[in-house]
């Protein structure tokens, strides 16, 4: 099973628990115009974050999956 291990936003990579804190503290906001905007529980990922979050600059956040890169 594929897992989300990090998120990218604000030109950096963030741990899931830090992204959750940023969401709760208002540093990430919901973009209601995003095509993946679904109501809970279908519109949230395994960490409880909505799929349609964006950062303060208006950029959508992106998940990093445990399968995105494999050691060589």
Tokens of 59: 């950029």
Q: Give the burial class of 11: count Cβ atoms within 10 A of its Cβ; 0-12 exposed, 13-18 middle, 19 or more buried.
A: exposed
The confidence score (pLDDT) of residue 72 equals: 61
- At 68 the pLDDT is 82
- pLDDT at res. 52: 86
Please, which pLDDT band fits residue 69 given cuts at 50, 70 and 90? confident
User: What is the pLDDT averaged over residues 19-47?
Assistant: 83
């Amino acid at each position: 099973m594929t897992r989300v291990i990090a998120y990218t936003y604000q030109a950096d990579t963030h741990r899931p628990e830090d992204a959750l804190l940023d969401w709760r503290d208002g540093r990430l906001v919901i973009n209601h115009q995003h095509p993946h905007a679904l109501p809970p529980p279908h519109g949230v990922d395994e960490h409880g974050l909505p799929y349609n979050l964006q950062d303060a600059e208006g950029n959508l956040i992106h998940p990093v999956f445990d399968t995105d890169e494999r050691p060589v």
